[in-house]
Amino acid sequence: MHPELDPSFLPLTVGVARSAATGSRQAGEVQRRAEAADTAAAGCWAALLGGCQSADRRDLPSQLRALVEATSGYVGAGWWAVSAHRRRVAEAQLRINDAVREGDGAEFAEAFVGYDQAIATAVVSVQKNVESPTP
């Protein structure tokens, strides 16, 4: 009823991908994947709070993988492979998956903060390089 009150787990990523999407098909894919992962995370959060299973709880890991693949495509596979952001994303994703499996809502929310920050920072870093390349 009030979308502004709905939980958001990827606000930074959705925001930067949305701004980058105006000039890039690959950034548009990051935006779509981020929005889908954010929706799945909100559904998973509700299931964790309710102590029940849900489709979102089962599908969240694949949604996160799809977001990582889209991000890698946008920033470049070579850049992503050596990026500290990739390691941070992988660590946060493992924490998220563990929290989902264990039903730990606090760990879930905390891990998403790191995941969101790492993905968003990667997108912004590449976006800045595209906007102001070094001579």
Beta strand ranges found along the chain (DSSP E): none
**pLDDT tens profile 97-127:** 999 999 999 999 999 999 999 999 999 988 6
Are the CB atoms for 54 and 63 separated by under 8 Å? no
**pLDDT tens profile 48-65:** 999 999 999 999 999 999
CA distance linking residue 63 with residue 58, whole number of Å: 10
Are the CB atoms for 4 and 111 separated by under 8 Å? no
Q: Does any domain span residue 18?
A: yes
Domain around 26: 7-130
Q: Does any domain span residue 1?
A: no
Q: Which residue has the tokens 């946060």?
A: 92
**pLDDT tens profile 4-43:** 567 899 999 999 999 988 878 889 999 999 999 999 999 9
Q: Does any domain span residue 25?
A: yes
Q: Does any domain span residue 47?
A: yes
Max CA separation in the chain (angstroms): 55
* Higher-pLDDT residue of 76, 6: 76
Q: How many domains does the chain fold into?
A: 1
What percent of the chain lies above the pLDDT cut of 90? Answer: 78
Q: Does any domain span residue 12?
A: yes
Instruction: Give the amino acid at 13.
Output: T
Q: Does any domain span residue 42?
A: yes
Average pLDDT, the chain: 89
Q: Does any domain span residue 86?
A: yes
List the Cα angle 39/118/30 in 5-degree steps: 50
Q: Does any domain span residue 46?
A: yes
Q: Model-level pTM greater than 0.85?
A: yes
